[in-house]
Chains A and B, each alone.
Chain A
Amino acid sequence: MTQSDPIFRLEGVTRRYGNLTALDGIDFGAEDNSYIALLGPSGSGKTSLLRVIAGFEAPDTGRIWFQGRDITDLPAHERGIGFVFQNFALFPHLTIFENVAFGLRNGATKVPDAEITDRVRASIDMVGLAGLEDRNPDQISGGQKQRVALARSLVMQPKLVLLDEPLGALDANLRERMQTELRTIRERLDVTFLHVTGSETEALAMGDRVAVLDAGRIVQYDTPDAIYDRPIISDVALFLNRFNLFEGTLKDGSFHGAFGAAPVSSVRANDSDVYAIRYDRTRIFDTDASDLPGPALPVRYLASEYLGSSIIFLFETADHKTVEVDHHLSLGEPRDLSVGQNYILSWDPAQAIVFGKEAAQ
């Protein structure tokens, strides 16, 4: 990944639909030639953001820059930004070949037929669909449609491709294969992918960098590792779906919650006091254990879920809050737990992340 000038930049972009503010003054820039995942829960404005960048919708205020040019007032077809739709949006009346050739044939600049054939073939080859050129869109599978949509976009050699939940319509197996493929394809070309998704796994697995969108604002933009390890606010931690979050009060360098009091070393600014500990940093002990690494949270065991490389154990606290423990199988055999039994959960307080109203420490 080469870090360079932003390929595109948003300045104070706001988009409202009636009383609803979908985008709330977004400032954002993305590096050239990189894979950026845009993560947000549904209703966070992520699709609006993509549509505004593509030019399908105009922002109410703010400017959009692309390759050093202000494109805010440019219509979509003059922007040169690719777009891949969740529902693929293939042209149903054209063959795969003609779908991919569409932009070259009907664009503003005339491309010679021979060049069209070459570029379309190369593009179809790249996404691994050689041999299907003469099929119609209704004769291929969902995964193949997604590749056609990608090839159709990439054949125009855009510098930026926007992908709107591109894997959302595919089944789980296919989704994983397409994840790696999307990354490989992008690395072979000089292009930036802006990939919108509602799945934190997808975002963390795919993006060179991940932007987290919440309520129309970008709250964190960083590498996946950084976001995983250091969510900037408790909402991000919640949305990552990898943290047990506890409410409580932060006072005099310690956090008081359901687990008693825990010492706190550093605090992140937040609009409420929240204590977060990752699922895979939470450990299980018997009620009479005496070698706890930190605070003690009494829980009742509910169920477990096998995920292949790890097991998720589900517990319930006294106030009926569900707590999860992620046990990675490379760390050894999991404990044998009996449903309905009481246990104690504990962790190393140094690994917890604490958000507080009074960040000053």
Chain B
Amino acid sequence: MESKILKPILAVYVGLFILFLYGPFIVLSILSFQQGPEGGPQFPIIEWSTYWYQHLFGLTPPSRIAPLPVGEALVRSLTLAFMTMVTATVLGVMAAQAFRKRFRGAGVVFYLIVLGMMVPGVLTGLGTSLLANNVVGIERHWWSTAFLAHVVYTFPFAFLVMLAILNRFDGSVEEASWSLGVSPITTFRKVTFPLIFPGVLSAMLFAFTLSFDEFPRTLFASGRDQTLPLAIYGTFSVEIHPNIFAFGVMTTLFSFALLAVYGILMGLSVRRAKKMAMQEDIA
């Protein structure tokens, strides 16, 4: 059988494919342990050291290489990602909730929302800054115009996640609640929301990571004060030192920490989800 030969070949291929995905980052991680401050961003490794990590936190004696201007940028990015996460998730949950009932114009509204993730960042960024700069005449800031553009980008993701969750949600528990004299709003708070919480968490994770890493929209729509991706981009044009590699490793670790928090929260609410699934099985 041909697939008997094909399968092992493809297995090896997939191994190479994954190496292709991870290779650059592995090389970057190795080079982040280059000796400093003389060691450059290339092979060979002169001597293994954690110099560039110390450099990142300002623990090394001053040298000709300036520390990365990331401290404030990091705080800004975290704040912006948090604001975006809350807004996008609230909008996403609301819109997805509305889509549980059929209504006229549902198709148009759906595409309008999804458009936000399909339009390239350059265009949203350019348009937003045009509007702010030449029509409304306001200054651009990471917390104003960039925030608006970030929500445009992340709201569709939150919306789609919630839509998938609510599609599988059995509405009879809500009706049961109404029939007990509980108003729709209290029902949403006490029944629907606790049960869709795992989905909400996923939507939040999506919105946060996308916003935290967002670059093209922010480049246009934020003003003088840089967010983290902008700060990194700024270092591209000047000479590169392994400190930026060390920084890359750190941000990746941070992402994984975030993922772990998500995992823990998810684990806590998964018991609940299981119960729900079991009840659905009986039905």
Residues of A that sit less than 8 Å from B by CB? 54-56, 75-83, 85-93, 102-103, 106-108, 136-138, 142, 145, 149, 152-153, 156, 169
- Extra inter-chain contacts (9) besides given A56-B175, A78-B181, A92-B195, CB under 8 Å: A77-B177, A83-B179, A85-B172, A86-B283, A89-B176, A90-B173, A102-B180, A102-B182, A106-B186
Considering only residues 160-179 of chain B, those with a C-beta below 8 Å from chain A are 170, 172-173, 175-179
**Bound: A181/B208 CA distance, A:** 53
Specify which of B184, B195, B283 lies most central, judged by the most chain A CB atoms within 10 Å of its CB: B283
| B181→A87 contact, CB < 8 A | no
* A108 proximity list for chain B (CB < 8 A): 181, 183
B binding-site residues for A, Cβ under 8 Å:
170, 172-173, 175-184, 186-187, 190-191, 194-195, 272, 274-276, 278-280, 282-283
Q: Among B178, B179, B186, B272, point to the contact of A92 (Cβ < 8 A).
A: B272
Residues from chain A with a CB closer than 8 A to the CB of B182 are: 77, 102-103, 106-107
Q: How far is the CB of A174 from chain B (nearest CB, A)?
A: 13
Is B194 within 8 A of A93, CB to CB? yes
**With known contacts A87-B170, A106-B190, A108-B183, A138–B279 Cβ distance under 8 A:** yes
Asked whether A142 lies within 8 Å of B176 as measured between CB atoms, the reply is no
Most chain A CB within a 10 A radius of its CB, from B175, B179, B191: B179
Closest beta carbon of chain A to B201's beta carbon, Å: 15
- How many A-B contacts if CB must be within 8 Å? 102
Q: Which residues of B contact A81 (CB under 8 A)?
A: 179
Q: Determine the chain B residues whose CB is within 8 A of the CB of A156 once the complex forms.
A: 180-181
Instruction: Choose among A76, A78, A89, A138 the residue that contacts B278 (Cβ–Cβ < 8 A).
Output: A138
Q: CB < 8 Å: which of A89, A142, A169 contacts B175?
A: A89
> Are A87 and B279 CB-contacts (below 8 A) given A93-B194, A106-B182, A108-B181?
yes
Question: Across the interface, do A103 and B180 meet the contact criterion of CB distance under 8 Å?
Answer: yes
Instruction: Give every chain B residue within 8 A of A169 (Cβ-Cβ).
Output: 282-283
Assess A153 versus B180: contact at CB under 8 Å? Given A88-B282, A89-B172, A93-B195: yes
- Within the complex, the shortest CB–CB distance from B7 to chain A, in Å, comes to 41
* CA–CA, A23 and B127, complex, Å: 53
How far, in angstroms, from A78 to B187 measured CA to CA in the complex?
13
Q: How far is the CB of B185 from chain A (nearest CB, A)?
A: 10
A240 to B276 Cα, complex, angstroms? 37
* Distance A73 CA – B132 CA, assembled complex (angstroms): 47
Whether A77 contacts B275 by the Cβ 8 Å rule is: no
Distance to closest chain B CB from A158 (angstroms): 9
Please name 28 pairs of A and B residues whose Cβ atoms are closer than 8 Å in the assembled complex, sorted by A.
Answer: A75-B184, A76-B175, A77-B178, A77-B179, A77-B182, A77-B184, A80-B181, A81-B179, A82-B179, A83-B175, A85-B172, A87-B170, A88-B282, A88-B283, A89-B173, A89-B175, A91-B177, A92-B173, A92-B275, A92-B276, A93-B276, A102-B177, A102-B180, A103-B180, A106-B180, A107-B182, A108-B181, A156-B180
